[in-house]
Structure 1
């Protein structure tokens, strides 16, 4: 299979694991509940492993920007859906800027190999 495709798939998995780890961290009640804390650690470890695999073909700066940016957006969505938190217009605007940044990096940067 294509190494670049596998690297991007690993990056996608890293993002999902990071979001899951953050979600379980929120459920751990300040690391006082054992199972959510262990799940959080497992997902964060998996996220870093997959991020390292993504770096086989995806440049570090691009991988980190996509990982961080999409992780923030998905975590914000989880915070609204799971934790019933509200995002004000300023937060939504900021998240929109993050999405725009990821789109610009992936769509127009010559650093990204597709």
Structure 2
């Protein structure tokens, strides 16, 4: 990648953009080994986390689908919670008299339909 020189680009805006892009690519290239090592580590962690329970080999005919042997992550069971009647009344009292949230206090206009 060519480094920018003042003679190569005449437009000042283009110089700023090129310098910014150049510095980002330069940082990316200089940290390439670190990025590759990080990717390898993430891949190995994922491989360990989702490896099959038992080794899948072509000679093991009892396995119809190799994915059946992968241990799936555990899902937390959802437990719903509900407001009590008292809590709902308490919540409604907070907004009582608020013009923006009170639909009961508004007068609605009905237009007469013409035939």
Query: If the TM-score is normalised by the length of the shorter chain, which range does it land in?
Result: under 0.3
Q: Which has the larger radius of gyration?
A: 2
More helix by proportion, 1 or 2? 1
- Taking structure 2 as the reference length, the TM-score comes to 0.25
